[in-house]
């Protein structure tokens, strides 16, 4: 008799826990974390690249944060022609809200003849300190 009661209790517990297991599995499938790395959700595009100035390129760019949270960014700007880098610079953008697009400007020093040069932008998340500490 005790063996029959134990068997019946085991079945009741198994049937009672089955919906909980199914619900936990469904939640695990539907709430997967986004596997895309942060840089893949960041886009930087050149808006203007004016290389007519002597010794420098005036660059404006847009930055879009495709992540689910706000970040600061470090944008690397390069000016190149015929496979040669004529100039490079860095621009720090302290904060971009999730899903937002901002515009930035920078003056990049250029050496050599910049006629026909093109500008490129790339970036990484930079959530470190910017500015001076007092």
Distance CA 61, CA 76 (A): 11
39-60 pLDDT per residue, tens: 468 899 999 999 998 899 999 9
Interatomic CA distance for residues 68 and 71, integer angstroms: 10
What share of the chain has pLDDT > 90, as a percent?
A: 50
* Average pLDDT of the segment spanning 7-12: 66
Amino acid 12: pLDDT: 63
- Summarize the confidence of residues 76-105 as an average pLDDT: 94
The predicted structure's pLDDT at residue 6: 60
Spatial contact of 121 and 47, defined as CB atoms under 8 Å apart: no
- pTM of the complete model: 0.68
Q: Average pLDDT, whole number, for the chain?
A: 83
Sheet holding 56-65, edge to edge: 42-50, 56-65, 101-109
Q: Are 47 and 61 in contact (CB under 8 A)?
A: yes
């Amino acid at each position: 008799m005790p063996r029959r009661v134990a068997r019946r209790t085991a079945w009741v517990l198994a049937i009672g826990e089955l919906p909980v297991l199914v619900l936990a599995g469904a939640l695990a499938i539907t709430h997967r974390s986004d596997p895309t790395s942060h840089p893949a959700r960041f886009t930087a595009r050149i808006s203007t690249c004016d290389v007519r100035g002597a010794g420098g390129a005036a660059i404006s760019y847009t930055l879009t944060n495709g992540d689910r949270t706000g970040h600061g960014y470090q944008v690397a700007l390069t000016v190149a022609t015929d496979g040669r880098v004529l100039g490079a610079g860095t621009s720090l953008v302290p904060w971009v809200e999730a899903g937002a697009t901002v515009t930035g400007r920078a003056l990049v020093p250029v050496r050599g003849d910049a006629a026909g040069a093109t500008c490129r932008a790339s970036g990484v998340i930079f959530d470190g300190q910017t500015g001076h500490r007092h």
